Amino acid sequence: VRVMSKEQIAQCSIEQSSGPDELLIINTRFSLGFMMSQPGGELGPNPKSFGHPGAGGSLGYADPEAKIGFGYTMNKMQASLLIDPRATWLIEAVYESL
């Protein structure tokens, strides 16, 4: 099932804003509705990756260049502003398996 067209996916990788985030009190980068890789919140090695962390460490993520995507939820909440270390380990493991 295709949820988004190739053109729509490409739009998700174009930076729309970057800089201080008044809510999170850190610098952030966003495309149209998605966070992009940034220092301390890398979404893999490819610059077109996009996604969004959620409460407690969850993460939704896509890398159109590598043709991968996944969602991660956990059963133990932890406090992380950007990408939880557990999700970072999963991202690294996915790329190591390619």
Cβ-proximal residues to 49 (8 Å cutoff; 6+ apart), any chain: 13, 36, 37, 43, 61, 62, 63, 64, 65
pLDDT tens digits, 31-54: 998 999 988 888 999 999 999 988
Domain membership of residue 90 (yes or no) is: yes
Number of domains in the chain: 1
User: Is 1 domain-assigned?
Assistant: no
Which pair of tokens denotes residue 13? Answer: 């990788």
Owning domain of residue 22: 6-97
Whether 59 is covered by a domain: the verdict is yes
pTM, 2 dp: 0.84
Q: Is residue 27 part of a domain?
A: yes
Instruction: Express each pLDDT in 72-96 by its tens digit.
Output: 888 887 777 788 888 889 999 999 9
